């Protein structure tokens, strides 16, 4: 585990978190517009999808970080 790979991995995570925050913000605004019950349902679905995505993206980002830095 090299420092460069860890740095690239953290960079990928930051980009991912910002993207997720923007998507969640959009859904929150949409939910306020549609009503509180719809907003609650949307948030539950998003949390479940978010947890699944986190597991998938952590694995793929680590491989991607290794490829970028050329670490075996």
pLDDT tens digits, one per residue of 12-63: 888 877 877 777 777 777 777 777 787 778 778 877 877 777 777 777 777 7
Q: Tokens in use for 30? A: 């949409």
CA dihedral 17, 56, 54, 18 (to 10 degrees): 10
Q: Does residue 1 surpass a pLDDT of 70?
A: no
Q: What are the domain boundaries of the chain?
A: 3-67
């Amino acid at each position: 585990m090299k420092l460069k790979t860890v740095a690239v991995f953290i960079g990928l995570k930051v980009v991912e978190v910002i993207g997720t925050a923007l998507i969640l913000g959009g859904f929150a605004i949409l939910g306020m517009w549609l009503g509180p019950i719809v907003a609650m349902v949307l948030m539950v679905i998003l949390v479940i999808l978010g947890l699944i995505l986190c597991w998938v993206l952590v694995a793929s980002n680590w491989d991607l970080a290794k490829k970028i830095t050329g670490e075996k």
